[in-house]
C-alpha cells in the first residue's frame, strides 16, 4: 500500500489492478479499500471471486469514474468459463451499483461464440466489447502492430523506447515494458524506493524484436480513440 499510495496521477489515469488475476491476492479487498481516494481504480478480472463478499466489502463508488468504458472489465474465456454463471455475477454487481462490463478476445477459433455471447449480454443490458486476438494461430500471426515483426522473435535490434504506462510487478519492481516484466529482465526501479522517480524518457533497449503484443499493438486510448500504442520506439538499428 505504501508503494501504490506514493503515486500521483490524474482523474483520467487510474491504477489498473490486473494480472494474471488480481483477486487471488490474499489482500485484494484490503488493497481496494486502502488505496488513497485521490487515485481512481480499474480492475481487469475473470470474476472468479465471491461477488457477495465483494458487494458487502467494497463501495461501488470507489471503483467508478467518468470514462467511455467500465471500471471493472471482465474477461470472458469460453474455453474455460461458462457464460451463464458469469452473466449472473455481472448482473448482480451491476444491479448493486458497480461499473462493470465484459470483454471477449476474437480468437479465430472462438469468434462465433464470442459474438453470440456479445449479442446475448447486450440484450440483458450488459456492456460487452471485443478485443483483437494477438499472437500466432495455425501458423498465422494475428493483431495490428505498430512495428512489423516486433513480436515474432526472429530478429534482435537496438532501439530507444519510451512507455506511456507505469508497469509495476507484484513485488513493486517497475519495468520498461510488459516484455521485460514477463521475461524477468532487470527492472528500472522499485515503487517502494523513496528515491525512485518516474521519468518520461526514452530508454535504451537491445531486445527489439522480442516485444510483448501488449506494448506494440495498435489499440484505443483511454478516450476510446483508435491509433494508440503503449510504447514509442525510435532509432531502430
Taking only the tens place, the pLDDT of each residue in 6-63 is 888 887 789 999 988 999 999 999 999 999 999 999 999 999 999 999 999 999 999 9
164 in Cβ contact with 198 (< 8 Å): no
90 and 164 in a common domain: no
What is the model's pTM? Answer: 0.86
Q: Note whether 74 and 170 are same-domain residues.
A: no
For residue 136, what pLDDT is reported?
86
Q: Does 143 score more than 90 pLDDT?
A: no
Together in a domain, 119 and 20: yes
Q: Quick one: 106 and 218 in the same domain?
A: no
pLDDT tens-digit series, residues 187-209: 999 999 988 988 889 999 999 99
Q: How far apart are CA 103 and CA 73, in angstroms?
A: 7
Question: Is the domain of 95 the same as that of 182?
Answer: no
* Domain final residue pick, 133, 151, 171: 133
- Note whether 14 and 117 are same-domain residues: yes
Both 114 and 162 in a single domain?
no
Sheet holding 15-17, edge to edge: 15-17, 41-45, 72-76, 100-106, 128-132
pLDDT for position 229: 86
Nine-digit cell string for 42: 480499474
* Residues 124 and 229 grouped into a single domain: no
Side-chain-facing half-sphere of 189: CA atoms under 13 Å: 12
Q: Do both 102 and 179 map to the same domain?
A: no
Count structural domains, the chain: 2
Above 70 in pLDDT, residue 172? yes
The verdict on 112 and 36 lying in the same domain is yes
pLDDT score, position 220: 67
Residue 140: pLDDT band with limits 50, 70, 90: confident
Residue 130 burial (CB < 10 Å; 0-12/13-18/19+)? middle
Range of the domain at 74: 1-133
Please check whether residues 15 and 62 belong to one and the same domain: yes
Domain boundary among 113, 133, 153: 133
pLDDT confidence tier of residue 170, bands split at 50, 70 and 90:
confident
Looking at the structure, tell me whether residues 97 and 80 fall in a common domain: yes
Average pLDDT value for residue range 139-167:
90
- The residue among 103, 118, 133 that closes a domain is 133
Per-residue confidence (pLDDT) for residue 10, from 0 to 100: 80
pLDDT of residue 222: 66
Amino acid at each position: 500500500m505504501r508503494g501504490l499510495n506514493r503515486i500521483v496521477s490524474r482523474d483520467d489515469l487510474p491504477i489498473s489492478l490486473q494480472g494474471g488475476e488480481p483477486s487471488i491476492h490474499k489482500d485484494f479487498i484490503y488493497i481496494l479499500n486502502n488505496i488513497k481516494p485521490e487515485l481512481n481504480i480499474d480492475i481487469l478480472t475473470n470474476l472468479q471471486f465471491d461477488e457477495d463478499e465483494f458487494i458487502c466489502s467494497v463501495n461501488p463508488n470507489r471503483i467508478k469514474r467518468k470514462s467511455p468504458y467500465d471500471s471493472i472489465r471482465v474477461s470472458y474465456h469460453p474455453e474455460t468459463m461458462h457464460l451463464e454463471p458469469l452473466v449472473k455475477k455481472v448482473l448482480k454487481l451491476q444491479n448493486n451499483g458497480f461499473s462493470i462490463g465484459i470483454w471477449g478476445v476474437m480468437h479465430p477459433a472462438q469468434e462465433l461464440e464470442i459474438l453470440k455471447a456479445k449479442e446475448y449480454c447486450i440484450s440483458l443490458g450488459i456492456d460487452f466489447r471485443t478485443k483483437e486476438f494477438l499472437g500466432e494461430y495455425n501458423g498465422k500471426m494475428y493483431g495490428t502492430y505498430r512495428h512489423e515483426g516486433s513480436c515474432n522473435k526472429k530478429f534482435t535490434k537496438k532501439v530507444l523506447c519510451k512507455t506511456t504506462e507505469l508497469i509495476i510487478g507484484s513485488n513493486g519492481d517497475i519495468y520498461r515494458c510488459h516484455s521485460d516484466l514477463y521475461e524477468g529482465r532487470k527492472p528500472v526501479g522499485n515503487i517502494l524506493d523513496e528515491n525512485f522517480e518516474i521519468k518520461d524518457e526514452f530508454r535504451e533497449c537491445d531486445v527489439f524484436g522480442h516485444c510483448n503484443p501488449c506494448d506494440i499493438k495498435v489499440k484505443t486510448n483511454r478516450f476510446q480513440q483508435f491509433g494508440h500504442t503503449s510504447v514509442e520506439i525510435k532509432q531502430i538499428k
